[in-house]
């Protein structure tokens, strides 16, 4: 398709043709037998993709932010204390949402590009009792990945409900919901799940459902109230239709195709592919002299990268990269947003997309007067991919 720009931002991402076809299918009744089976299977496949065999899945029309709202409105009662392991923009947002429903919120912050370690979390949990601990798996504003597999079990052992905002990680970065003691895992359709924007996907553990059932106060958000949605999810999963709010029929059909594609690849294979592509991208960026925002490789996310503009360049680099055929995203973290840009590499992204992107960045850098030897980024990525 001439004139098309490769979309390499942290969501929405490029979707497969099979997924996009579902968006153009004639919209059917939300209680037609066909759709009931489709929705039911989506709920089952969500458990598999989240690696949450024992959890209650929810698929509701809304964005990732609505998923965060659904967590806070159902699980927080005024006076509950919540701790946010904060790695940037979306940790701040989670804190705002939790306090909107009456939580007393503390933030466990690290420097930009870093994440609090297990000792800092243990200290914080010793200092105060919390009802809920939330963390962002991959922070879209910094490209920092939190070690959820270490931190969530620590919070759980301290008696807290654990919430993971997986919006920029789920189905790309390894996340083992049940095994890692994650009570609520949430994401949105338009990132590594690979479906156009408009769906929130969540899983709730038995402990999270119990906290909801034990509420004294009604949920202050009518649309988000689990009392309204649980019967709907249960009905579709047992293959009967139900109505609370009209499901986003075409998005659910598209989700069905995408979840099937994800499971056909295999979760372990998919996690490994994202690590490999991210490794290749970072090797290429480093060879061009670009410095990444995450403090170390260990904290660098497999689903997106954040890179400082090199000396002598600025945010005009992003439109220059777009002129070279690839769309990337500008900075998001309030304190440093003028200093860096972001590249998404998740979902159906492949080796050639990584190489195209590095090539476009290199040409754009050259157009801004920054010199690095031509082909150095692509070569380093090729060496990485071919194991040299």
Ligand X SMILES: *Cc1c(COP(=O)(O)O)cnc(C)c1O
The binding site for ligand X (CB under 6 A) comprises 11, 63-65, 90, 136, 140, 165, 167-168, 188
Shortest separation between residue 323's beta carbon and ligand X, angstroms: 26
Please tell me whether residue 331 adopts helix, strand or coil conformation: coil
Q: Which is nearer to ligand X, 91 or 377 (CB)?
A: 91
Structure tokens at 278: 């991210």
Cα dihedral 63, 195, 173, 292 sign:
negative
Shortest separation between residue 8's beta carbon and ligand X, angstroms: 15
Three-state SS for 112-166 is: CCCCCCHHHHHHHHHHCCCCEEEEECEECCCCEECCHHHHHHHHHHCCCEEEEEC
Cα of first residue to Cα of last residue in the chain, in angstroms, is 33
Q: Cβ contacts of residue 141 below 8 Å, gap of 6+?
A: 87, 88, 89, 90, 306, 331, 332, 333
Q: Which is nearer to ligand X, 67 or 377 (CB)?
A: 67
Of all residues in the shown chain, the one whose CB is closest to ligand X is: 64
* Residue at token pair 């043709």: 17
Shortest separation between residue 220's beta carbon and ligand X, angstroms: 20
Q: Which is nearer to ligand X, 164 or 283 (CB)?
A: 164
Q: Are 56 and 200 in contact (CB under 8 A)?
A: no
For the chain, helix, strand, coil in percent to 5 are 40, 15, 40
Shortest separation between residue 359's beta carbon and ligand X, angstroms: 26
Q: What are phi and psi of 55, to 5 degrees?
A: -90, 165
Report CA Rg, the chain. 21
Shortest separation between residue 149's beta carbon and ligand X, angstroms: 17
Shortest separation between residue 236's beta carbon and ligand X, angstroms: 23
Shortest separation between residue 270's beta carbon and ligand X, angstroms: 18
Q: What DSSP element (H or E) covers 6?
A: strand 6-7
Shortest separation between residue 173's beta carbon and ligand X, angstroms: 11
Q: Which is nearer to ligand X, 249 or 346 (CB)?
A: 346
Q: Which is nearer to ligand X, 262 or 381 (CB)?
A: 262
Q: Which is nearer to ligand X, 138 or 320 (CB)?
A: 138
The distance from CA 83 to its chain's CA centroid, rounded to whole angstroms, is 20
Query: Residue 340, by phi and psi: left (phi above 0), alpha (psi -120 to 50) or beta?
Result: beta
């Amino acid at each position: 398709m001439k004139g098309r720009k490769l979309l390499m931002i942290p969501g929405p991402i490029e979707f497969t043709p099979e997924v996009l076809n579902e968006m153009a299918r004639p919209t059917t009744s939300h209680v037609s037998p066909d759709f009931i089976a489709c929705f039911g299977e989506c709920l089952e496949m969500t458990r598999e993709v989240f690696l949450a065999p024992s959890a209650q899945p929810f698929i509701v029309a809304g964005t990732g932010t609505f998923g965060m709202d659904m967590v806070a409105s159902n699980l927080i009662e005024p006076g509950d204390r919540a701790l946010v392991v904060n790695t940037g923009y979306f940790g701040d947002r989670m804190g705002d949402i939790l306090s909107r429903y009456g939580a007393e919120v503390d933030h466990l912050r690290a420097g930009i590009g870093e994440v609090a370690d297990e000792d800092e979390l243990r200290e914080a949990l010793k200092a105060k009792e919390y009802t809920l601990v939330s963390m962002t798996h991959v922070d879209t504003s910094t490209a920092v990945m939190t070690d959820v597999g270490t931190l969530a079990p620590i919070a759980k052992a301290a008696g807290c409900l654990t919430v993971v905002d997986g919006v920029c990680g789920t189905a790309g970065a390894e996340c083992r919901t049940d095994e890692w003691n994650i009570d609520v895992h949430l994401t949105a359709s338009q990132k590594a799940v690979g479906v156009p924007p408009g769906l929130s996907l969540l899983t709730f553990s038995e402990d999270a459902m119990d906290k909801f059932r034990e509420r004294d106060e009604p949920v202050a958000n009518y649309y988000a109230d689990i009392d309204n949605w649980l019967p709907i999810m249960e009905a579709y999963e047992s293959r009967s239709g139900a109505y609370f709010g009209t499901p986003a029929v075409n998005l659910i059909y598209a989700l069905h195709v995408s979840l099937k594609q994800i499971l056909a690849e295999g979760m372990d294979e998919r996690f490994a592919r994202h690590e490999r592509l991210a490794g290749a991208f970072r090797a290429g960026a480093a060879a061009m002299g670009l410095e990444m925002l995450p403090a170390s490789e260990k904290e660098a996310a497999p689903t997106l990268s954040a890179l400082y503009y090199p000396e002598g360049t600025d945010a005009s680099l992003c439109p220059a990269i777009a002129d070279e055929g690839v769309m990337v995203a500008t900075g998001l973290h309030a304190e440093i947003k003028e200093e860096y840009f972001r590249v998404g590499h998740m979902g159906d992204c492949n080796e050639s997309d990584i190489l195209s992107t590095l090539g476009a960045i290199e040409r754009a850098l050259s157009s801004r007067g920054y010199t690095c030897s031509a082909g150095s980024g692509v070569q380093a990525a090729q060496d990485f991919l071919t194991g040299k």
